[in-house]
Amino acid sequence: MNGPPDRGGRSQETCLEAFSPLLSFAGGMRREVGWPGLHRLSASAGRLFFGFSQGGVLTTSRLLSIVAASTLLLASCNRPQRPAAEQSDAAPVVRAQRVVSLVPSMTDAIVALDATDRLVGRTRYDTAPEVADLPSVGGGLDPSLEALIALEPDLVIGWESAEYRGLRSRLEAGGIGFHAASIEDTTDVFRSLDELGMLLDLSDRAARLSAAVRESLAVVSTAGLRHPKPTVFYALLGAPPRTAGRRTFVGQLIEIAGGIPAFAELYNGWPEVSLEAVLAAQPDVIVVPADDSATNVADAFTKKPGWRDLRAVREGRIVVIPTHLLNRPGPHLGSVARTLHEALVEAWGPAP
Residues that bind another protein (CB under 8 A): 2-3, 6-9, 31-33, 36-37, 40-41, 43-44, 46-57, 59-61, 63-64, 67, 238-240, 271-277, 279-280, 282, 305-306, 308-309
Nearest approach, Cβ of residue 44 and another protein (Å): 5
Nearest approach, Cβ of residue 60 and another protein (Å): 5
Nearest Cα to 196, choosing from 186, 181, 217, 183? 181
Nearest approach, Cβ of residue 327 and another protein (Å): 15
Nearest approach, Cβ of residue 46 and another protein (Å): 6
Nearest approach, Cβ of residue 123 and another protein (Å): 13
Nearer to another protein, 51 or 92 (CB): 51
Nearest approach, Cβ of residue 67 and another protein (Å): 7
